[in-house]
């Protein structure tokens, strides 16, 4: 049964077979959701690098593993693919999926450089495959509610966006493949800026510093960054990214408007506070996989639901490209110390 027939079939049709590439920090969570929490889909195969395959097999990983992503993508049991491999492999894996013409959920970014990302976007568009990019904040209740309030006109005309993402620094090996601070962390804030305000970012000015780990200087990256945004409406924005968060994972978005402002931050791990001689003690999330656990599940559910309903998944390839171009412009601005225009 192909996917078109599935969308016309009754709700009793068998679940979609999904193959995942990458079972690291984020891939393992997507795989867990596909095995245990997603309606209408089941995980049938996973591809990882050879050393990881050996380790997972020794631990008794419950799903068949391969170290050949091409074999996974072309496996007839695999009807849809999730890419959660390192960013340096996204382009090559996207090309294989578009050639196999299978629905694709891809972790951000589309590629680790702009020319490959644009080629990947073209291939996705011309192949016509259902495609969703991994901007999970769009599925978080806090961000969704903020968007809804802004759409309802509760804050009037958006005039200023503020976004914060601070996290503990990952390994330098990971950072080497990440594209840099603005490609890895900032891209979520740039997407949130577009999603919440409904506005396009026209130009950026960025400043960065290495204050956490000197090794970042060797890879021409920074661990602190500030990006000033200019939206095409004339509205302003600022994004604060840092690989430093000893108090726990921190994200925040604020949109100030002509009539009010909306703020979303949900860093409390439990709806519980301890009041004692220290004052008020709150448990905080320490990992993005904790803070956005449900959003990561809901984005995959939305992808599967869209495929089954024959609808176009969202956020799609245009959203993937736009946020990536802002991240790239911010990276170039940091280096050139000039305002950089986002290509339209
Ligand atoms: N949306 C988010 O919030 C979010 C969060 C974290 C990571 N990510 C993205 O997810 C991707 C993976 O990040 P991560 O932190 O999980 O990485 P990771 O290093 O923890 O895991 C990478 C996984 O890919 C596998 N792998 C490596 N090379 C491979 C290859 N050539 N073919 C197949 N598998 C291969 C590894 O075995 C491992 O399972 C990155 O692109 C990153 O930008 C997104």
Q: What is the mean pLDDT of residues 258-268?
A: 89
Q: What is the mean pLDDT of residues 16-43?
A: 98
Q: How far is the CA of 84 from the centre of ligand 1 (A)?
A: 5
- In the DSSP assignment, the letter for residue 12 is T
Rounded to a whole number of angstroms, the CA Rg of the chain reads: 20
Q: Is the CB of 158 under 6 A from ligand 1?
A: no
Q: Is the CB of 134 under 6 A from ligand 1?
A: yes
Domain shared by 327 and 218, yes or no: yes
Residues 6+ apart with CB under 8 A from 54: none
User: Considering the domain boundaries, does residue 312 fall inside one?
Assistant: no
Domain shared by 229 and 125, yes or no: no
pLDDT digits (tens, 9 = 90+) for 145-162: 999 999 999 999 999 999
Domain shared by 217 and 263, yes or no: yes
Domain shared by 190 and 231, yes or no: yes
pLDDT exceeds cutoff 90 at 34: yes
What pLDDT sits at residue 248? Answer: 87
The SS3 of residue 241 is: strand
| Domain carrying residue 124 | 3-129
Which has the closest alpha carbon to 86: 167, 169, 18, 174?
Answer: 174
Q: Is the CB of 47 under 6 A from ligand 1?
A: yes
CATH number at residue 69: 3.40.50.720
CA dist 183 and 16 (Å) reads 31
Residues 6+ apart with CB under 8 A from 310: 3, 4, 7, 8
Q: Is the CB of 15 under 6 A from ligand 1?
A: no
CA dist 248 and 250 (Å) reads 6
CATH number at residue 253: 3.30.360.10
Beta bridge partners of 201: 231
What pLDDT sits at residue 7? Answer: 52
Q: Is the CB of 49 under 6 A from ligand 1?
A: yes
pLDDT exceeds cutoff 60 at 117: yes
Residue whose CA lies nearest to ligand 1 atom number 33: 48
What pLDDT sits at residue 5? Answer: 58
Q: What is the mean pLDDT of residues 19-43?
A: 97
pLDDT digits (tens, 9 = 90+) for 225-260: 999 999 999 999 999 999 999 988 999 999 999 999
Q: Is the CB of 86 under 6 A from ligand 1?
A: yes
Residue whose CA lies nearest to ligand 1 atom number 1: 134
pLDDT digits (tens, 9 = 90+) for 52-62: 999 999 999 99
Domain shared by 328 and 202, yes or no: yes
Q: 91-116: string of b/e by CB count within 10 Å (b at 16+)?
A: bebbbbbbebebbbbbbbbbbbbbeb
CA dist 28 and 31 (Å) reads 5
Q: Is the CB of 48 under 6 A from ligand 1?
A: yes
Q: Considering 83, 107, 129, which residue would you say is the last residue of a domain?
A: 129
Q: How far is the CA of 159 from the centre of ligand 1 (A)?
A: 36
Q: Is the CB of 34 under 6 A from ligand 1?
A: no
pLDDT confidence band for 8 (50 / 70 / 90): low
Q: Is the CB of 311 under 6 A from ligand 1?
A: no
Q: Is the CB of 136 under 6 A from ligand 1?
A: yes
pLDDT confidence band for 64 (50 / 70 / 90): very high
pLDDT exceeds cutoff 60 at 318: yes
Which has the closest alpha carbon to 161: 153, 150, 172?
Answer: 150
The SS3 of residue 179 is: coil
Structure tokens given for 156:
């009037």
Lowest mean pLDDT among 183-187, 251-255, 283-287: 283-287
Domain shared by 202 and 281, yes or no: yes
Total of domains in the chain:
2
Q: Is the CB of 61 under 6 A from ligand 1?
A: no
* Residue to probe by mutation, ligand 1, list 19, 23, 24, most atoms within 8 Å of CB: 24
Residue whose CA lies nearest to ligand 1 atom number 28: 49
What pLDDT sits at residue 13? Answer: 74
Domain shared by 246 and 268, yes or no: yes
Average pLDDT, the chain: 94
Tokens 């998944």 locate to 313
Which has the closest alpha carbon to 33: 24, 44, 46, 43?
Answer: 43
Domain shared by 286 and 180, yes or no: yes
Lowest mean pLDDT among 74-78, 154-158, 268-272: 268-272
Lowest mean pLDDT among 65-79, 94-108, 198-212, 267-281: 267-281
Lowest mean pLDDT among 93-97, 283-287, 300-304: 283-287
User: Considering the domain boundaries, does residue 201 fall inside one?
Assistant: yes
Q: Considering 129, 154, 180, which residue would you say is the last residue of a domain?
A: 129
Structure tokens given for 286:
């320490």
pLDDT exceeds cutoff 70 at 119: yes
Dihedral pair phi/psi, residue 67, rounded to 5° = -105, 20
Q: Is the CB of 25 under 6 A from ligand 1?
A: yes
What pLDDT sits at residue 107? Answer: 98
pLDDT exceeds cutoff 90 at 267: no
Domain shared by 148 and 245, yes or no: yes
Domain shared by 175 and 283, yes or no: yes
Domain shared by 86 and 166, yes or no: no
What pLDDT sits at residue 344? Answer: 72
Q: Given the CA of residue 92, which atom of ligand 1 is nearest to it? A: 31
């Amino acid at each position: 049964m192909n996917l078109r027939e599935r969308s016309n079939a009754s709700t009793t049709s068998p679940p979609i077979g999904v193959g995942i590439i990458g079972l690291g920090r984020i891939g393992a969570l997507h795989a867990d959701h596909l095995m245990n929490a997603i309606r209408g889909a089941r995980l049938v195969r996973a591809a990882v690098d050879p050393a990881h395959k050996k380790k997972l097999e020794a631990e008794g990983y419950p799903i068949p593993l391969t170290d050949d992503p091409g074999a996974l993508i072309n496996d007839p049991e695999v009807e849809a693919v999730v890419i959660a491999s390192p960013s340096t492999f996204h382009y090559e894996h996207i090309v294989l999926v578009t050639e196999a013409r299978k629905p694709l959920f891809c972790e951000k970014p589309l590629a680790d450089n702009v020319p490959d990302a644009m080629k990947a976007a073209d291939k996705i568009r011309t192949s016509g495959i259902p495609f969703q990019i991994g901007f999970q904040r769009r599925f978080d209740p806090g961000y969704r509610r903020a968007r809804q309030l802004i759409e309802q006109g509760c804050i009037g005309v958006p005039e200023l966006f503020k976004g914060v993402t601070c996290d503990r620094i990952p390994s330098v090996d990971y950072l080497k493949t990440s594209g840099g601070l603005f490609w890895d962390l900032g891209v979520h804030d740039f997407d949130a800026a577009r999603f919440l305000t409904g506005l396009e970012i026209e130009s950026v000015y960025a400043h960065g510093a290495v204050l956490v780990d000197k090794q970042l200087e060797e890879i021409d990256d920074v661990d602190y960054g500030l990006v000033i945004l200019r939206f095409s409406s004339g509205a302003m924005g600022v994004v604060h990214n840092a690989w430093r968060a000893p108090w726990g994972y921190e994200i925040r978005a604020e949109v100030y408007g002509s009539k009010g402002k909306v703020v979303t931050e949900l860093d409390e791990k439990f709806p519980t506070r301890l009041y004692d001689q220290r004052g008020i003690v709150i448990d905080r999330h320490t990992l993005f996989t904790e803070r956005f656990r449900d959003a990561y599940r809901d984005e995959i559910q939305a992808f599967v639901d869209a495929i089954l309903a024959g609808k176009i998944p969202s956020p799609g390839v245009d959203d993937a490209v736009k946020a990536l171009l802002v991240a790239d412009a911010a990276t170039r601005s940091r280096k050139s110390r000039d305002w950089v225009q986002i290509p339209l």
